[in-house]
Structure 1
Amino acid sequence: MKVFVVGNIAMDQTLAVDRMPLEGESIFGSKISNDLGGKGTNQAIVLGRCGIPTILIAAIGTDAQSQQMRERLAREPVVDRLVERQDIPGDTTIVLKDTDGGNVNITTVDCARSLRIADVTPLISDAEAGDLLVLQGNLSMAATSDIIRAARKKGMRVALNPSPLSPDIAQLLPGLDILFLNEHEAEQITGAQKQAAVQYLLDLDIDIVVLTLGASGALLGQQDGIVEVPAQRIDVADSTGAGDTFQSVAIGSALRRGEWIDRQSLSIAAMAAAITVSRFGTTAAFPTQAELDALLEQRNN
């Protein structure tokens, strides 16, 4: 089974600040890292490090930064199928990290939103029924809808993480196989919180809903009920990429066991996310292949 991640690729520049600035305010900061990122790329890299055959499809520029991204991606256990844009610079994410480990992100999507179904169709020609398509919120709504439709025609399963959230995303949710989202996104989509939000989403005929609750853990919703999964307690250095680690390890754990996402998958994912938040950077903070192998083998036996 293969996983096709269709999303974005960006260079993450992380700046440390004492606190988040107020409107119109100038504050001091220090540069922590310049690292490969983008939600789609993050999720593909962690899936690849889990030992899952993973293909990343994303649009990329031809500028010096894009070349640097290509070189860094080439070191990862991911098959890249990048769509080159001659007239658009590569995307960038600015991450502001405060002293509590929290962060806010500003991401450009000029490259990401140039991706169209005509670009993607030939790049998923080898997808088979039962393969998994993973999407996020960085593409245009039209492209996301078209890609989901194309995947369905092939009998693929579809997982969506709606971040960054678009108000129109709700129309694409009914019938999804997997939905990963956080508290803020769930409340914006459903008008409800926690278990009520999960039930609302399950009623849209979504097979599995995973609602992350930060330090409070996560909720796993399936048609037969909703269960709580605790988080791992750890001092947070930098929370960048924690959600992407959590999602991809949850999927990777399930696939390695030949199962679908369950409570065990999320427990393992919480351990992996704890590793990520204990380190600075994006790709550099993700658990290594060796760390994930040890974690997945220990927990999967």
Structure 2
Amino acid sequence: MKKIVVLGSLNMDMVLTTDRLPVIGETIHGEYIHYMMGGKGANQAVAASRLGISTSLIGCVGNDTFGEKILKHLSEEKLDVSSVRKEDNIFTGIATVFKTNRDNAIVVIPGANDCCDRRVVDENIDKIKQADVLLTQLEVPMETVKYALKKAKEFGVQTILNPAPYKDLPTELLEYVDFLTPNETEFESMVGSKFENSEELEKEMLQWSKRNQLNLIVTRGSRGSSYIEDGKVLTLPCIKVDVVDTTGAGDTFNGILAYAMAEKMELREAVTMAGIGASLSITALGAQTGMPSIQKLKQYL
């Protein structure tokens, strides 16, 4: 059986719906508040697990009510959460999502996610060793991410790093990455420049990928996803859907990409599947609510 291990964050998302964001010093009335399960690690693990592949999540929550609710919910998603540590004397991570009609803004307070250190990786090294793919992000400490990626490569495990939320990536960390999946804004931060058009983006993708010798996939929102094949940048458009909430689209993309890599799909097929899944995910409120099952994905494929 194919196996995916996700190393990453677990949060309780508080989604506040409002017409617009307040400016500094201003108080406005919101419309609704929803409490939803989130964190990039948990989201990506759910996206993969919904496709029916064996998925384990490594991370930390606080020994509190939010932590208990998150673990109960993830267990119902048929995820293996036996590697999620309960940490005393610290709260579960929290993300406050301000959702407007057009987009969202997010403030994350890491909490127990900052306790996800090398010992957590060492405690679960056998799971990483037996995995087909290790997927991770940057909502847990960078040193932990680097250590886990290095261990995975020692065992011959494929690795995917979603560099979000963006932080400067140490050069030595990239040595352990097979697939890097920034969105367009994160890629601009990586190269230190803003792209005025697609041509500039594609030129920089080719130069960066050649320089760093790894697979680069840039997600571009409504414009689809761009990747490199045979020395050329190809952009696969996304499907058109009615947008309800864009939270979790990138996490859906990465979880499905991990599934496709574990199943040894060709890169074009993998990016296509991940892009369709990301589009479907934004048709419902909440990061995980709209993540598709394998049956729904196959309807569009």
Q: Any idea what SS the aligned residue of 1:233 has?
A: coil
Q: Given that residues 120 and 147 in structure 1 are in contact (C-alpha distance below 8 angstroms), is that contact kept between their aligned partners in structure 2?
A: yes
Aligned equivalent of 2:281: 276
Among 256, 262, 271, the alignment partner of 1:266 is 271
Among 198, 201, 208, the alignment partner of 2:215 is 208
Q: Given that residues 132 and 262 in structure 2 are in contact (C-alpha distance below 8 angstroms), is that contact kept between their aligned partners in structure 1?
A: no
Question: Cα distance 1:117–1:166, how it changes in 2: closer, same or farther (>3 A)?
Answer: same
Question: Cα distance 1:199–1:41, how it changes in 2: closer, same or farther (>3 A)?
Answer: same
Question: Cα distance 1:149–1:114, how it changes in 2: closer, same or farther (>3 A)?
Answer: same
Question: Cα distance 1:175–1:253, how it changes in 2: closer, same or farther (>3 A)?
Answer: closer
CA shift at 1:222, angstroms?
4.3
CA shift at 1:298, angstroms?
6.5
Question: Cα distance 1:223–1:137, how it changes in 2: closer, same or farther (>3 A)?
Answer: farther
CA shift at 1:217, angstroms?
0.9
Correspondences of 1:226-265 after superposition (within 5 Å): 226-256=233-263, 258-260=264-266, 262-265=267-270
Q: Any idea what SS the aligned residue of 1:60 has?
A: strand
Q: Given that residues 276 and 285 in structure 1 are in contact (C-alpha distance below 8 angstroms), is that contact kept between their aligned partners in structure 2?
A: yes
Aligned equivalent of 2:49: 48
CA shift at 1:201, angstroms?
3.0
Correspondences of 1:89-238 after superposition (within 5 Å): 89-100=91-102, 102-128=103-129, 131-169=132-170, 171-174=172-175, 176-192=177-193, 193=195, 194-222=201-229, 224-238=231-245
**The 10-residue stretch of structure 1 (79-88 or 147-156) with the greater mean CA deviation from structure 2:** 147-156
Q: What value does the CA root-mean-square deviation take over the aligned residues?
A: 2.0
CA shift at 1:169, angstroms?
4.8
Q: Given that residues 159 and 176 in structure 2 are in contact (C-alpha distance below 8 angstroms), is that contact kept between their aligned partners in structure 1?
A: no
CA shift at 1:297, angstroms?
7.2
Paired amino acid for 1:98:
T
Q: Distance in 2 between matches of 1:235 and 1:295?
A: 17
Is there any run of 5+ residues in structure 1 with no aligned partner, and where?
none
CA shift at 1:149, angstroms?
1.7
Structure 1, residues 98-134: CA drift from partner, whole Å, max 9, x if none?
112x111111112112111112112121434772111
Q: How many residues align?
A: 293
Q: Distance in 2 between matches of 1:197 and 1:140?
A: 28
Q: Distance in 2 between matches of 1:218 and 1:92?
A: 29
Paired amino acid for 1:70:
L
Q: Any idea what SS the aligned residue of 1:176 has?
A: coil
Is residue 14 from structure 1 mapped to residue 21 from structure 2 by the alignment?
no
Paired amino acid for 1:211:
V
Q: Given that residues 128 and 156 in structure 1 are in contact (C-alpha distance below 8 angstroms), is that contact kept between their aligned partners in structure 2?
A: yes
Q: Any idea what SS the aligned residue of 1:13 has?
A: strand
Q: Distance in 2 between matches of 1:25 and 1:13?
A: 20
Q: Distance in 1 between matches of 2:261 and 2:175?
A: 23
Paired amino acid for 1:236:
V
Paired amino acid for 1:64:
T
CA shift at 1:168, angstroms?
4.3
Q: Distance in 1 between matches of 2:240 and 2:289?
A: 21
CA shift at 1:146, angstroms?
1.6
Q: Distance in 2 between matches of 1:238 and 1:83?
A: 30
Q: Given that residues 48 and 256 in structure 2 are in contact (C-alpha distance below 8 angstroms), is that contact kept between their aligned partners in structure 1?
A: yes
Q: Given that residues 3 and 262 in structure 2 are in contact (C-alpha distance below 8 angstroms), is that contact kept between their aligned partners in structure 1?
A: no
Structure 1, residues 236-294: CA drift from partner, whole Å, max 9, x if none?
111011111122223323434x324x22222222222222111111222222x3xx224
**The 10-residue stretch of structure 1 (26-35 or 39-48) with the greater mean CA deviation from structure 2:** 26-35
